[in-house]
Structure 1
Amino acid sequence: MKKLCCALLLSLPLSAFAYPTEVETSLNGTEVSYETQDIGDSMGAVLLQNYGKQDVNCTAVFQNGPETPKVRKTLVPAGKTSNLTVSFGRAIIKLRVKLTCNPA
């Protein structure tokens, strides 16, 4: 039994490797903060927090190497959060995100 437990523990990864994420922002005077998240090998996300007093329209363009860029849009109400997620067909090596936010 002890050997089985040891074998299971050794088969688990010792550390999780995250891919690098580059974010280019154009917030246009809005009070929005962002946090990138890696969900898995082929998925990524950006969590948006609106600290302002008015709603904000945000657009994120996610790009992973040679794949076609994927566009996600959201309206972030004042004082609320919104999550933009994307899934690619290949494992992400480096994720590039262009985030543009404008007052609604």
Structure 2
Amino acid sequence: MRKFCCVLLAMLPLSAWAYPIDVQKQLNGLSIDYTAYDTDVDIGSIELNNFGSTDAVCSVVFRNGPEAPRTRKVEVVAGKSKNVTVKFNRKIIKLRLDLSCQAK
């Protein structure tokens, strides 16, 4: 019985998994790289890296099911990176991001 309980407790971390993140991007020829993160069950974030030589103005629309989309605008200086984060009222099941960047 003890072995069974130990195995069951060891398998608990396997049940905690991240939500899927879909990113639709429109970079308009800019050298922008991104990494999306599942920060918490109700917080999503994306890191934008500008590898180009021109500054960029980016807009990120976060969508989580029935909640209203949240838009964040950020300026990413050439050679730098920025984090964009949003907190929802409900638990995220699937996060959809629309990333659009223009040269400044």
* Alignment-mate amino acid for residue 89 of structure 1: N
Moved over 6 A (4+): none
The SS at the match of 2:79 is: coil
Residue ranges of structure 1 left out of the alignment (5+ in a row) = 1-5
Distance in structure 2 (CA, Å) of the matches to 1:41 and 1:72: 19
Distance in structure 2 (CA, Å) of the matches to 1:13 and 1:83: 31
Normalised to the residue count of structure 2, the TM-score between the two structures is 0.87
Q: How many residues align?
A: 98
| CA RMSD across the alignment | 1.8
What are the within-5 Å matches in structure 2 for residues 6-21 of structure 1?
10=9, 13-15=12-14, 16-21=16-21
Match of 1:79 in 2: 79
* Alignment-mate amino acid for residue 13 of structure 2: L
Match of 2:103 in 1: 103
Cα deviation 1:47-67 (Å, max 9, x = unaligned): 000000010000000000010
Residue ranges of structure 2 left out of the alignment (5+ in a row) = none
Match of 1:49 in 2: 49
Match of 1:36 in 2: 36
* Alignment-mate amino acid for residue 93 of structure 1: I
Normalised to the residue count of structure 1, the TM-score between the two structures is 0.87
Cα deviation 1:39-83 (Å, max 9, x = unaligned): 100000010000000100000000000100000010000000000
The SS at the match of 1:39 is: strand
* Percent identity of equivalent pairs: 44
Do the aligned partners of residues 12 and 86 (structure 1) sit closer, same or farther apart at CA in structure 2, a change above 3 Å counting?
Answer: farther
